[in-house]
Amino acid sequence: MIRTWLNIIALWLIGVLAAAQLPKIAVLAPVLRETFHLSLAGAGLLVSLLEIGGAVFGVAAGLALGRFGGRRFLVAGLAILLVCSVVEAFAPNAGVLFAARAVEGVGYVLVVIAAPTMIVAIAPERIRGPALVLWSTFVPVGVAVGSGVTGLAVAATSPKGALLLWAVLCGLGLFAAARQARGGRSEARMTWPAPAAVMLTFGFGLFTVFVCALTMLLPSFLTERVGASLSGASLATALVSLTALPASAIAMRILHAAGVDPRRAVVATVIPALLAAAAVAVFVFQPAVVGRGAVAVSVVAGLALLLGGVASPMVFARLPSLAGASAPDDPRIASANGLLTQFGAGGALIGPPLGGLVVGRWGWQGLGVCVAVLAVAMLAALLAAERMGRASAEAEGELAPQRT
pLDDT band of residue 252 (cuts 50, 70, 90) is confident
For residues 291-318, give the mean pLDDT: 88
pLDDT, the chain, mean:
82
| Domain assignments of the chain as residue spans, ordered by start | 1-181, 191-392
Query: What is the average per-residue pLDDT within 86-98?
Result: 93
Longest dimension (CA), the chain: 71
If phi over 0 gives left and psi between -120 and 50 gives alpha, with beta otherwise, what is residue 227?
Answer: left
Q: Specify the pTM.
A: 0.76
Radius of gyration of the chain (CA): 21
Query: In which band, very low, low, confident or very high, does the pLDDT at 185 lie, cut at 50, 70 and 90?
Result: very low
Same fold across 1-181 and 191-392: yes
Amino acid occupying residue 233: A
pLDDT given for residue 189 in this prediction: 54
**How far apart, in whole angstroms, are the C-alpha atoms of residue 277 and residue 352?**
19
The amino acid present at 324, given as its one-letter code, is G
Buried b (16+ CB within 10 A) or exposed e, 363-386: ebbbbbbbbbebbbbbbebbbbbb
Interaxial angle between packed helices 2-19 and 70-89, expressed in degrees from 0 to 180 and rounded to the nearest 10: 40
CATH architecture of 191-392: Up-down Bundle (1.20)
State the DSSP code for 182: P
Contact indicator for 274, 379 with CB cutoff of 8 Å: yes
Mean pLDDT of 203-229: 82
Q: Are residues 21 and 146 in contact, defined by beta-carbon separation less than 8 angstroms? A: yes
Residue type, 76: A
Q: What percent of the chain has pLDDT over 90?
A: 24
The whole-number pLDDT of residue 372 equals: 95
* CATH of the structural domain 1-181, one choice from 3.30.1950.10, 3.20.190.10, 3.40.50.1970, 1.20.1250.20: 1.20.1250.20
- What's residue 276's pLDDT? 95
Task: Please give the share of the chain, as a percent, with pLDDT higher than 70.
Answer: 89
Max mean pLDDT range (16-25, 234-243, 268-277, 342-351): 268-277
Angle at 290 (CA atoms; ends 289, 296), nearest 5 degrees: 60
- Model confidence over 57-67: pLDDT tens digits? 777 777 777 66
